Chain A
Amino acid sequence: ELKVEQNPLFLSMQEGKNYTIYCNYSTTSDRLYWYRQDPGKSLESLFVLLSNGAVKQEGRLMASLDTKARLSTLHITAAVHDLSATYFCAVDLDFGNEKLTFGTGTRLTIIP
């Protein structure tokens, strides 16, 4: 059974600081997704990583994928309050069919 684990589960950080969220998964997959969810809202797609070594950046967020280590990271640079949200990683359970298994999420709070 595929397991997707994120850590930390909760993260409180000051504005301007850098931090990394980790996503580990238990079986082979070369598709990894990152989503953002604000309270009471749906999921916003951030990144889709489709191969080993893939790195994508958007603003203060950068995601990478190491399929050999079964690890993805979401790096936050110089955090700002607007980044406060819950971040989920998800793995394609059935290669190419985009049937996703989600991690438990990391609730990020940026403190002014």
Chain B
Amino acid sequence: DTGVSQNPRHKITKRGQNVTFRCDPISEHNRLYWYRQTLGQGPEFLTYFQNEAQLEKSRLLSDRFSAERPKGSFSTLEIQRTEQGDSAMYLCASSRRGGLSRGKVFFGSGTQLSVL
């Protein structure tokens, strides 16, 4: 168990470019979440998956954002036509419904996105 892994750690891009982030959850965790955190604020929920099904998307998630979790393992978050307002830390988290770790949600180290 190596924890929730996110890549890349940092991403600098020019406005209008597309970016993709990857998250590898803790093995056997069936739930995966994406959050966004801006400086001085708490994380904000974006979307989550149970296995491969995307169960909910926040209103914060514009049409430029898309997330996938093929085969219920790793997940990707893509942002198309990035804007400066997209600059933030993107955090991935995972949990396992039921079992001894009931209720615990584990976060990855995040991907810091800077849009120039």
Contacts and interface: CB of A to CB of B under 8 A. Distances in A.
A binds B: yes
Interface of A: 4, 31, 33, 35, 41-45, 48, 50, 88, 90, 93-94, 96-105
Contacts of A88: 42-43
B91 A42 contact: yes
Interface stretch (B14-22, B62-70, B74-82, B105-113): B105-113
Contact of A99 (B33, B42, B109): B33
Contacts of B91: 42-43
Contacts, number: 58
B45 A98 contact: no
Interface of B: 31, 33, 35, 40-45, 48, 55-56, 91, 95, 97, 102-110
A93 B55 CA distance: 14
A90 B107 CA distance: 13
